Structure 1
Amino acid sequence: MSDYILEMIDISKEFTGVKALTDVNFKVERGEIHCLIGENGAGKSTLMKVLSGVYPHGTYKGDIVFEGSVQWFNKISDSVKTGIGIIYQELALFPDLTVYENIFAGNEVKRGSLVDWNRTIVEAKRMLQKVKLNVNPETLIKDLGVGKQQLVEIAKALSKNVKLLILDEPTAALNENDSANLLNLLRELKNQGITSIMISHKLKEVISIADKATVLRDGRTICTLDASKGEVSENIIIKNMVGREIEDIYPKRTNKSIGDKIFEIREWNAYDPKLGREVVKEVNLHVNKGEIVGIAGLMGSGRTELALSIFGNPKSYKLKGELLLDGSPKSFNHPSEAIQVGIAYVTEDRKGDGLFLIQDIKSNLSAANLGGISSKGIINDNEEVVIANRYKDSMFIKAPSVEQIVGNLSGGNQQKVSLGKWLYVGPKLLILDEPTRGIDVGAKFEIYTIMNELIKEGMSIIMISSELGEVLGMSDRVYVMAEGQIKGELNKDEADQEKIMQLATQ
């Protein structure tokens, strides 16, 4: 007989008439690593917010049974006291406080009515040992990398005697080494008797770590897959996530026709005064009409710096070299000047730089081209709605209407809005910086399909990506960067992961 630490029974949740969850059933056995997967907007994070008390009892229908008892959590602290800890993708740490202060924030170690700081530091060291993080507990959080901050979050949860640990996209912002360390830690915690639920879009990670995986689609439970029965495989997961089989996640382009050179930089350099060094060095690069050019490289290789130096130089680098568009020399003092001649840039940080999260879809879609819906400085509201609906439909943006607040959309739909904003500008050259970061396989397929349509229409794309499969699957040519330099150029036929990594680590 199964020993379930958690049972969520017939959970339903609505937001102003929109059903986010419908009769969801989710069971987790004690001591297992259980992955919760599904497309963006499938209801994964909503379900975990119900479980953790973010959405209190009474705002949803159904029952939460934890360790055999029905629970009525009215706030997060109620679930914490029961032994449930949740770690969100956006870390909830205080950057200007120390590691030990963060671990015991809100759960202070006291002697009488006073905080016992000596014992706090001792206990913090013990928690750090549990998560295998070798740092001085007196280190400030802001002085740690994202991977180490993630481990501090887990140490914080462990300090509260957590029995069930929930991690929402824990590796989304981590490099490969930090991701591997985190997954190994979850295995260690499993050996210590701690149960984990992990939400992830990275199917390779799910396949490598999950004992079981439950798939949600459109707010409903589709199935629970058992790794011991060979059910946790890429094909089975994708079929259940998207409701269809995706034979090739990188859709093939038809009527492929690459034209003449439209963009080029020669001996291009960018010096960052704040860092006191060159971040882009002697780069020579070109893009042809109707071509996707991939830029690969490790974190810190200078890929984003290169993109920003091309797109109007918003970071105020000191630039040197030639930039040509359609064979004519160009120079930009501001991104608006780059936009005017047909260059657009979709940032890797859609939440921080790409979107106005508190505004609606239509306002975001028109933000970069208000002139297109204005006359004599007055915005035509009706035209804005018409344009927004056109992009909502053509880009498969899933939302009740264009009046939907962008901050309430899933990551994949936010990314489509960010992309649509720049397509409305009508660029000749579109620079995509990590276009599918943090989105699910179904949304990725839709964005790749959109990219192929744009290329078919004669647009050109520079795609920066940390996913080598994506670079290889979508690019006609690949440039590899390291230390701000182009280390090599590979045609589609000769490019493979090994060659890219050899160049990226030179």
Structure 2
Amino acid sequence: MGKYILEMNDISKEFSGVKALSNVNFKVEKGEIHCLVGENGAGKSTLMKVLSGVYPYGTYGGDIVFDGEVQQFKEINDSVKVGIGIIYQELALFPDLTVYENIFAGNEVKKGLFVDWNQTIVQAAKMLKKVKLDVKPETKIKELGVGKQQLVEIAKALSKDVRLLILDEPTAALNEDDSENLLELLRELKKQGISCIMISHKLKEVISIADKVTVLRDGKTICSLDASKGEVAENVIIKHMVGRDIEDIYPKHPERYIGETVCELINWSAYDVKLGRYVVKDVNLHVKKGEIIGIAGLMGSGRTELALSIFGNPKGYKLQGNLKIKGEPKVLKHTNNAIKEGIAYVTEDRKGDGLFLLQDIKNNISVAHLKGIATKGILNLNEEVKVGKEYKDSLLIKANSLEQSVAELSGGNQQKVSLGKWLFTGPEILILDEPTRGIDVGAKFEIYTIMNQLINEGMSIIMISSELGEVLGMSDRVYVMADGAIKGEMSVKEATQERIMELATQ
């Protein structure tokens, strides 16, 4: 038996003449957790799609050797048959079906020609126990949180006798507790002899769990680092990822002028009619000109609901309390009202709510403010190109052209397009909901730099973030939310991760 369960040798892949992978070499030992890192667009997901058969044999160069045998996967089912399972960042579950139906979808337990549903439920319960998920197999997927859905995906892979499990950004949408539970499960699977490849931008998680780390940059293998030799360290990984040292992930900003209060909430509450409960409770909050306030809290604490209630209330909450813009009471019944008052909201779900993925860059940037490119009520397409180029250049959006579809961009560049879309509306108050979720460390640094530039120009930013380092690294003041309410407010000099978590878990 060989030492490696997987060897990918000299893998190359092109798209329309552009090399996405160039002679990549990647090896995974049996029973190890191997993390694959790199900036967005480095080739990580492309490499895994080659491995899993999404890009079939013949469409790439090089060899895949799995458990000592050269493989020629022509579709995903071919890789599944030999024991390779892949779980993507966007979960592939059927929300209206039960847990057991999802676990065995396409791999049904049969008795003769018919599905044996009783045995399916029994086997599903065994898989759930294996991933330490305490839910009934009959539970519908839509009734579970994202963390539990992630475990169902893993149970689904284990039901197919997986020997190599690939996870693409598995903790991107999870809170800290769910993330740690998932990482602990991967450690358990390792003890059972299952090898894991984990793609992640969260370097602290990578450092905590990886036996080895391979870094890709610009479609090439840069290095493989061995944790047992003390080679896996955050500054080392970052240097290899971006090709330069980033002394501080959070760019320093000079002492800045904090002006008058531009937005204030007084005894602000939001009642969700569909849920039958308050999602925002008696919030008092203010933000000043030239200030970044961070809003921290666990998933479900009410942070996004608070942002939506300010931004024209698109969910139709029943609102109570007062909202003041520059000292004037305002009633914003629609997002258009919020935009007119100088408020913009960059959603946490850029793919689902923030962007039109099949449209090009210039269309996405102009869409929230079509009047800005119209002459006498008629869209001026030349002006749209001019505006698109302005934001492409100023935000350093990496793309072949303004006509490139947003779906083809990396996560970091998609986020810049989403940001450009709202900056074009000319806001004075910018709400950023998870501004760096799912983007690499290099792109994060660029987003942070843009935020500081906007603040220096007099804008005010409300930043919602689940990353405590980000909250502490970028904010002037911090509010902590739990159960829809503000549990504490402090200057960033007073704030610590421990203090924030103490308040967030009240």
Q: Same fold (TM over 0.5)?
A: yes
- What secondary structure does 1:142 align onto? helix
How far apart, CA to CA, are the structure 1 residues paired with 2:165 and 2:500? Answer: 37
Change (3 A) 1:128 1:420: same
Corresponding residue for residue 175 of structure 2 = 175
Q: Output one character per residue of 1:439-464: Cα deviation in whole Å (capped at 9) or x when no partner.
A: 11111111000000000111110111
Corresponding residue for residue 284 of structure 1 = 284
Q: Which stretches in structure 1 are left out of the alignment for 5+ residues?
A: none
Pairing 1:56-95 to 2, within 5 Å after superposition: 56-95=56-95
- What secondary structure does 1:367 align onto? helix
- What secondary structure does 2:197 align onto? strand
- What secondary structure does 2:432 align onto? strand
Deviation of residue 503 (structure 1)? 2.2
Pairing 1:40-119 to 2, within 5 Å after superposition: 40-119=40-119
- What secondary structure does 2:301 align onto? coil
- What secondary structure does 2:368 align onto? coil
Tell me the C-alpha RMSD between the 2 structures.
Answer: 1.4
Pairing 1:234-249 to 2, within 5 Å after superposition: 234-249=234-249
| Contact kept in structure 2, 1:255 and 1:456, CA below 8 Å | no
Corresponding residue for residue 39 of structure 1 = 39
Corresponding residue for residue 415 of structure 1 = 415
Deviates more, 1:266-275 or 1:360-369: 266-275
Pairing 1:87-166 to 2, within 5 Å after superposition: 87-166=87-166
Q: Output one character per residue of 1:379-425: Cα deviation in whole Å (capped at 9) or x when no partner.
A: 22222122112211211212111111111222111111111110111
Corresponding residue for residue 474 of structure 2 = 474
Deviates more, 1:459-468 or 1:389-398: 389-398
Q: Which amino acid aligns with 1:241?
A: M
How far apart, CA to CA, are the structure 1 residues paired with 2:268 and 2:129? Answer: 47
How far apart, CA to CA, are the structure 2 residues paired with 1:30 and 1:94? Answer: 32
Structure 1 residue 313 corresponds to structure 2 residue 313: yes
Please, what TM-score do these two structures have when normalized by structure 2? 0.97
Corresponding residue for residue 373 of structure 1 = 373
Deviates more, 1:380-389 or 1:210-219: 380-389
How far apart, CA to CA, are the structure 2 residues paired with 1:65 and 1:138? Answer: 39
Q: Which amino acid aligns with 2:225?
A: L
Corresponding residue for residue 354 of structure 2 = 354
How far apart, CA to CA, are the structure 2 residues paired with 1:40 and 1:188? Answer: 29
Corresponding residue for residue 498 of structure 2 = 498
- What secondary structure does 2:9 align onto? strand
Deviation of residue 301 (structure 1)? 1.8
| Contact kept in structure 1, 2:2 and 2:68, CA below 8 Å | no
How far apart, CA to CA, are the structure 2 residues paired with 1:80 and 1:38? Answer: 26
- What secondary structure does 1:368 align onto? helix
| Contact kept in structure 2, 1:292 and 1:455, CA below 8 Å | yes
Q: Which amino acid aligns with 1:236?
A: V
Pairing 1:178-217 to 2, within 5 Å after superposition: 178-217=178-217
Corresponding residue for residue 442 of structure 2 = 442
Deviation of residue 76 (structure 1)? 0.4
Corresponding residue for residue 17 of structure 2 = 17
Deviation of residue 231 (structure 1)? 0.8
Deviation of residue 122 (structure 1)? 2.2
Q: Which amino acid aligns with 1:150?
A: Q
| Contact kept in structure 2, 1:267 and 1:282, CA below 8 Å | yes
How far apart, CA to CA, are the structure 2 residues paired with 1:300 and 1:127? Answer: 27
Q: Output one character per residue of 1:84-133: Cα deviation in whole Å (capped at 9) or x when no partner.
A: 11011111111222222211111122222222222222222222222122
Pairing 1:479-490 to 2, within 5 Å after superposition: 479-490=479-490
Deviation of residue 186 (structure 1)? 1.0
Q: Which amino acid aligns with 2:178?
A: D
How far apart, CA to CA, are the structure 1 residues paired with 2:295 and 2:232? Answer: 32
Structure 1 residue ranges (4+ consecutive) displaced by more than 3 angstroms after TM superposition: none
Deviation of residue 2 (structure 1)? 6.7
Structure 1 residue 322 corresponds to structure 2 residue 326: no
Q: Which amino acid aligns with 1:34?
A: H
Q: Which amino acid aligns with 2:384?
A: E
Q: Which amino acid aligns with 1:154?
A: I
Corresponding residue for residue 297 of structure 2 = 297
Deviation of residue 255 (structure 1)? 5.2
Q: Which amino acid aligns with 2:354?
A: G
